[in-house]
Amino acid sequence: MKEEIQKFFKGDVTDEKETLLKYSHDASLFEVIPKLVVSPKDSEDIKNLIKFVNANDQINKISITARSAGTDMSGGPLNESIILDFTHYMNKLIFFDAPNFNITVQPGMYYRDFEKIVAEKKLMLPSFPASKDLCAIGGIVSNNSGGEKSLVYGKTEKYVESLKIVLADGNEYIVKPLTQKELAEKIELNTFEGDLYKKLYQLIMENRQIIEEAKPNVSKNSAGYYIWNVIETDGKFNLCKLIVGSQGTFGMVTGVTFRLVPIKKYSRLLVVFLNDMKILPDLVSTVMKFTPESVESYDDKTLKLAEQFLPDFLKNKNFKQKIKFLWSFWPDLFMFLRSGFPKLVLMIEFTDDNEMEINKKLKNLKTEMDRLHLPNRAARIGADENKYWEIRRDSFNLLRQHVKGKRTAPFIDDVIVRPEFLSEFLPKLNDILKDYPELEYTIAGHAASGNFHIIPLVDMHNPKIPQVILEVSEKVYDLVAKYHGSNTAEHNDGIIRTPYLYKMYNADILEIFKKVKNIFDPKGIFNPGKKIGGDKKYIREHITH
């Protein structure tokens, strides 16, 4: 296969063992070894590759899985056939119209490079994930990522204005919101694209009630196909809504145009230290009355890890920054001595263009926390507040890299229920987990939206682990379903959660998802086993040791 592809492919094609092994992992607990890794130079390469796969799929069962930075926690960019890596060549800025808050980039651009470009004009893509220093645009879009600012700004789907995508017929298309007239023109086309619009429109119109009733009752959801908002409130038909979050199961995204938002001039952080997790739900509803932009949290185990891995936090800092960083821990140590080591650290951030206004908000919340006798402090601007953000964002990554003999095993890493259910949901979740001493876990997350990242650390050589993972998943997703939540708010289904979609969705909507996949990808050449068709046996067989 390699030699045949090399005949028409301008980019790199390799089947070297070392490369295959590198691409057999993402940030999930899986190992899936591909046959080939390719890095396209441009869309032409991708179009030709898809045509080649179409011509050969009967004989070899070839499929293609897109990969950007490979930080997915669900196994999304893993496949036994061809992996197509966007980061080598397709990583360029195409167009930046800062006055109109618009930017077009290729999917292989790392978010850290993207952030530099837009931040210079005081703009941001507010749905950036905690992995912002590691991940790339293609993954952010294809997972419908969200992060610390999603409480106010929502997830990536809100900011994608248009997409370029190579579909199953091997042609590249622009996808954007269409008026009824534009949609009618598309439907008239006697082509793959025309057929796609016609069938999808029909499917959605014929099943509007089933679709509406199946919508999870939470503020963030990456499970299944995001079919709810394809017909927008202004009547436009917007397939971007469906493609964003589809984990590369519809085609290869080759370009993305985002709407950006201005960065507010001022931000202030109040940190509250909780010794009792039980008060969290009530506390969150109190805090929300003060209209913060972010309410993030991490637990005592995360805090201990930060202490243990202090040298890693210092690594990329110069001498002065190191001193400032270390010095910034004094007030916390003092507070811990006075009030005890906290069980949970709650970070509440306000942003505003008016300095007086932001100081007022901070002061009012601080007064309320003092009234409730909750230890708290307003972080000083700079190193002091940055350290909380660094711990919140980097803890999972440090955990992945460091703990000898054990590894991170994300599998119930992204559950969400409505915040008002947290006081019932969290103790029940805890009851499930306490029966499994094999799972030592950390919790961090987006407390105000009810979305928690529970990351167990396990000894993968323990033969009981695959069974434990399957058993706990079963119980936790049953619990999530009871509260009409979602198995995944941000991290998506991938290999690890696709087999549990049936716990969230009824048979009718699962059938609609299948039909949607079939319309986009009739031969099943894009990222098999994700969103549609995964099974628990595959999970068991591909857990890495």
Query: Does the protein bind ligand FAD through residue 136 (CB under 6 A)?
Result: yes
Query: Does the protein bind ligand FAD through residue 247 (CB under 6 A)?
Result: yes
Find the shortest distance in angstroms from Cβ 471 to ligand FAD: 24
Q: Given candidates 49, 62, 82, 130, which one binds ligand FAD under the rule CB under 6 A?
A: 130
Residue that has been written with the tokens 């949607």 in this structure: 516
Q: Of 198-206, 244-252, 337-345, 465-473, which segment contacts ligand FAD by CB under 6 A?
A: 244-252
Q: Given candidates 49, 66, 274, 454, which one binds ligand FAD under the rule CB under 6 A?
A: 66
> How many residues of this chain bind ligand FAD (CB under 6 A)?
37
With contact defined as beta carbons under 8 Å apart, do 444 and 302 qualify? yes
Q: Given candidates 24, 63, 91, 142, which one binds ligand FAD under the rule CB under 6 A?
A: 142
| CA atoms 420, 422, 427, 429: torsion sign | positive
Which residues from 82-111 bind ligand FAD, rule CB under 6 A? 86, 107
Q: Where are the beta strands (DSSP E) in 302-416?
A: 344-352, 376-378, 407-408, 415-416
Find the shortest distance in angstroms from Cβ 318 to ligand FAD: 24
Q: Given candidates 40, 139, 466, 534, which one binds ligand FAD under the rule CB under 6 A?
A: 139
- Who's near 27: CB < 8 A, 6+ residues apart? 70, 71, 72, 73, 131, 396, 400, 408, 410
Q: Given candidates 11, 13, 24, 27, which one binds ligand FAD under the rule CB under 6 A?
A: 27
Please tell me the distance from the alpha carbon of residue 363 to that of residue 368, in angstroms, as a whole number. 9
Query: Does the protein bind ligand FAD through residue 449 (CB under 6 A)?
Result: no
Find the shortest distance in angstroms from Cβ 17 to ligand FAD: 21
CB nearer to ligand FAD: pick between 146 and 450: 146
DSSP for 41-96 reads SSHHHHHHHHHHHHHHHHHH---EEEESS---SSSTT--SSEEEE-TTTS--EEEE
Q: Given candidates 11, 40, 70, 216, which one binds ligand FAD under the rule CB under 6 A?
A: 70
Query: Does the protein bind ligand FAD through residue 300 (CB under 6 A)?
Result: no
Find the shortest distance in angstroms from Cβ 408 to ligand FAD: 9
CB nearer to ligand FAD: pick between 132 and 361: 132
Q: Of 134-142, 179-187, 208-216, 430-438, which segment contacts ligand FAD by CB under 6 A?
A: 134-142
**CA distances (Å), 134 to each of 29, 109, 244, 270, 385, in order?**
18, 11, 20, 27, 21
CB nearer to ligand FAD: pick between 406 and 482: 406
Q: Given candidates 490, 517, 521, 531, which one binds ligand FAD under the rule CB under 6 A?
A: 490
| Cβ-defined contacts of 190-198 (< 8 Å, 24+) | 192/167, 192/168, 193/167, 193/169, 195/519, 196/167, 196/519, 196/520, 197/237, 197/239
Q: Of 65-73, 293-301, 355-363, 506-514, which segment contacts ligand FAD by CB under 6 A?
A: 65-73
With contact defined as beta carbons under 8 Å apart, do 44 and 30 qualify? no
207-219: buried (b, 16+ CB within 10 Å) or exposed (e) per residue? beeebeebebebb
Q: For residue 178, which amino acid is it? A: L
With contact defined as beta carbons under 8 Å apart, do 29 and 152 qualify? no
Residues in touch with ligand FAD (CB under 6 A): 26-27, 65-73, 76-77, 86, 107, 129-131, 135-136, 138-140, 142-143, 145-147, 247-248, 252-253, 396-397, 490-491, 527
